[in-house]
Amino acid sequence: MSKALLVAGRELRSFFSTWMGYIICAAALFIDGLLFNAFAISGTPKFSADVLADFFYFASGISIVSGVFLAMRLIAEEKQNGTIVLFYTSPISERQLIYGKFLSALIFSLIILFLSLYMPALIFINGKVSLGHLASGYLVLSFLGATAIAVTLFASTISPNQLIAGVTGALFTVTLLVLWMVSEIVEPPFKDLFAYLSIHNKHFSPFSQGIVNTKDVIYYISITVFFLECSVRALEARRWRG
Amino acid sequence: MISVEKLSKYYGGFRAIDNVSFRINEGEIVGLLGLNGAGKSTILKVLGCFLLPSDGKASVAGFSVDENPHEIRKLIGYLPDTPPLYDEMTVRSYLEYVAKLKNVPSNRVKERVEAVMAQTNTSGVQEKRLGELSHGFRQRVGIGQALVHDPKVLILDEPINGLDPVQIVEMRDLIISLKGRYTVVLSSHILSEITRTCDRILIVDKGRLVAEGTEAQLQGRMMQNMKLSCDVESLQGSFDSELRKLEGVTGVELQRGVAAGTDRLLIETDRDVRAAVAAKIVGAGVGLLGMTRADTGLEGVFMKLIKTGEERSHV
């Protein structure tokens, strides 16, 4: 565990010591703010809860995209720069490395979410929303960010460079995102399977309405752990491949 | 300390290492010598638990690279051909990070980092970012990260690669200073560096170990196949044909007029016939001006081994 934290700490500092972290953070907050202003709080009068639900809907996309950008470099950059050798020849397991990397991107993603809190706080000024609704919305944004990070981290593990990792990660994430659309046009049992596997529609909506279902929480944790373990296995397999 | 038995490694259908066996004793500095692509780095990667062998066995301090890679990683320091450095970190913060990564107890991290910076002469740049350092200093920090946990075995892949002559001398001195305290395995394609820093040399070609021994042993081994260059006073007639009759002489080439009044005889032999050749020349009343080996010491041995691709043999 301490090794994973060590890796996470270094990685997190590297987000702040390069432009990459600031650019992702600034871009995510800017687009979040733009969408909040353009769609959530403008137009016809709405209930505060609906404004908040709209905010979570738009912020979910930003969480996913920033997760992809944060994770695409995690392993691929180490491979590109040759620094991955440091881990391959040090007494650190592949699992400690992967979970440490994941943790760093997750913390950075949570920092971005924390900085976006001023937007729902504005709703409090002119409206009334429950803290539970706010918490459940931010919980699902965190889950979506974690899922996108885990999926792209796997892509980063199997890709030779950041660009390919980004494209592959985005491809995997979009596939998981649109599975609910595919579920609309296929026959059972794939209909239910695809609907269940989709990271957004079925599992996201209850959270955005302020409802936390245990099965949705288990789904997001499961899919995140699944891709993290795939990354561990992919990293272990490179000793065989060379 | 290191044992390799019938080791082979395939990349797909390509055989990078072919049935290699050797042993390295504790405290030895051993050099892997070979052309680029000979398989040196692959052997080091297997020893560094970076790659698994396709066949055969390799162990470090009794631990198998297959079964106990984690234990081996605690015992080794590894410098790849490009030092694994994070450009945004300072020298000190990087070495502290690596020390923690390599299980140095937290109360000893500072002490080890100070010691390694002194050892690699990087104390003066400790607050500089790694991205701002020259190639020579980057290489020094690379060795520092390999030494920071005080390993038993040091694996250095092309440590002098890309260094200028001054940096090469500094790196050579640094490696020699490690003698006796660590078991060192290093690779290079530069013969002179291997002979200056290593106790023993393993010559690798096309994935196979074609020879091993000290510089003197390898040269001695090739004495029976030496090439002699004899400078003589200008010859009249075909004296070279007389030399061909000597037992052990396999070929003679005459170069006329290499200097004023001087001809040169290049004599190929299959054994040490220097005394017989000298006697023959002097006995024929020809002035012998000098006799040297035409093959350039170990370099000649190396080139010959590479060319013939002969089977591994113990000296």
What percentage of residues in chain B have a pLDDT greater than 90? 34
pLDDT at A148 over 50: yes
- The verdict on B152 and B282 lying in the same domain is no
pLDDT at A131 over 50: yes
CATH code assigned at B251: 3.30.70.1340
Q: Is residue B310 part of a domain?
A: no
Give the per-residue pLDDT at B188: 87
Count of domains for chain B = 2
Cβ contact, residue pair A88, B103, below 8 Å: no
Q: Are A129 and A197 in contact (CB under 8 A)?
A: no
| Dist. CA A6–CA B103, nearest whole Å | 11
State mean pLDDT over B38-53: 90
pLDDT at B179 over 50: yes
Q: Which of A12, A15, A89 to mutate to test the interface with B (most CBs of B within 10 A)?
A: A89
CATH code assigned at B23: 3.40.50.300
- The verdict on B182 and B130 lying in the same domain is yes
Q: Among positive and negative, which fits the CA dihedral A132, A135, A139, A141?
A: positive
With tokens 């971005």, the residue in question is: A112
How many other C-beta atoms are found inside a 10 Å radius of the C-beta of residue B259? 10
State mean pLDDT over A116-134: 85
Q: Which residues contact A78 (CB under 8 A, 6 or more apart)?
A: A84, A87
- Set of chain B residues whose Cβ sits within 8 Å of the Cβ of A18: 88
- The verdict on B198 and B231 lying in the same domain is no
State mean pLDDT over B11-28: 88
Q: Is residue B305 part of a domain?
A: no
pLDDT at A122 over 80: yes
- The verdict on B263 and B134 lying in the same domain is no
- The verdict on B204 and B114 lying in the same domain is yes
Long-range contacts of B174-182 (CB under 8 A, 24+ apart): B174/B119, B174/B120, B174/B121, B174/B140, B174/B143, B175/B29, B176/B29, B177/B119, B178/B29, B178/B154, B179/B27, B179/B29, B180/B27, B181/B27, B182/B27, B182/B77, B182/B147, B182/B151, B182/B152, B182/B153, B182/B154
User: What type of residue is A83?
Assistant: T
- Each residue of A90-114: pLDDT tens digit? 999 999 999 999 999 999 999 999 9
pLDDT at B311 over 50: no
Q: Which of B8, B45, B86, B103 to mutate to test the interface with A (most CBs of A within 10 A)?
A: B86
| Dist. CA A61–CA B35, nearest whole Å | 53
Per-residue tokens: B62: 């009794």
pLDDT at B22 over 50: yes
Nearest to A123 by CA among A48, A203, A33, A12: A48
Domain of residue B267 covers 223-294
Confidence category of residue B314, pLDDT binned at 50, 70, 90: very low
State mean pLDDT over A27-44: 83
From B220, B248, B267, give the residue that closes a domain: B220
Q: Taking the domains of chain A in order of start, what are their residue ranges?
A: 2-241
Mean pLDDT of chain A: 90
Confidence category of residue A241, pLDDT binned at 50, 70, 90: low
Which of the 8 DSSP states describes residue B314?
Answer: B
| Dist. CA B110–CA B148, nearest whole Å | 10
- Each residue of A179-226: pLDDT tens digit? 888 888 888 888 888 888 888 888 888 888 888 899 999 999 999 999
| Dist. CA B116–CA B134, nearest whole Å | 18
| Dist. CA B211–CA B214, nearest whole Å | 10
Find the helix or strand (DSSP H, E) in which B198 lies. none
CA-nearest residue to A238 within chain B is B51
Question: Which of A41-45, A135-139, B66-70 reaches the highest mean pLDDT?
Answer: A135-139
CA distance B93 to chain A (A): 10
How many other C-beta atoms are found inside a 10 Å radius of the C-beta of residue B290? 10
Give the per-residue pLDDT at B105: 93
Q: Range with the lowest mean pLDDT among A201-215, A219-233, B129-143, B237-251?
A: B237-251
Give the per-residue pLDDT at A22: 92
- The verdict on B91 and B174 lying in the same domain is yes
Give the per-residue pLDDT at B313: 43
Mean pLDDT of chain B: 85
Give the per-residue pLDDT at B259: 86
- The verdict on B211 and B239 lying in the same domain is no
Q: Is B248 exposed, middle or buried (0-12, 13-18, 19+ CB in 10 A)?
A: middle
Q: Is residue B301 part of a domain?
A: no
User: What type of residue is A52?
Assistant: L
How many other C-beta atoms are found inside a 10 Å radius of the C-beta of residue A204? 23
Q: Range with the lowest mean pLDDT among A23-37, A135-149, A163-177, B162-176?
A: B162-176
Q: Range with the lowest mean pLDDT among A36-45, A48-57, B13-22, B35-44?
A: A36-45
Which of the 8 DSSP states describes residue B49?
Answer: T
Cβ contact, residue pair B97, A10, below 8 Å: yes
- The verdict on B60 and B135 lying in the same domain is yes
Q: Is residue B307 part of a domain?
A: no
Per-residue tokens: B236: 């009249």
Cβ contact, residue pair A242, B98, below 8 Å: no
Confidence category of residue B297, pLDDT binned at 50, 70, 90: low
| Dist. CA B130–CA B140, nearest whole Å | 11
- Each residue of B271-294: pLDDT tens digit? 778 888 898 888 888 889 999 877
- The verdict on B105 and B17 lying in the same domain is yes
Alpha-carbon radius of gyration of chain B: 24
Find the helix or strand (DSSP H, E) in which B299 lies. helix B297-308
B251 phi, psi to nearest 5 deg: -175, 145
3-state secondary structure of B293: strand
pLDDT at B315 over 60: no
- Set of chain B residues whose Cβ sits within 8 Å of the Cβ of A82: 80, 82-84
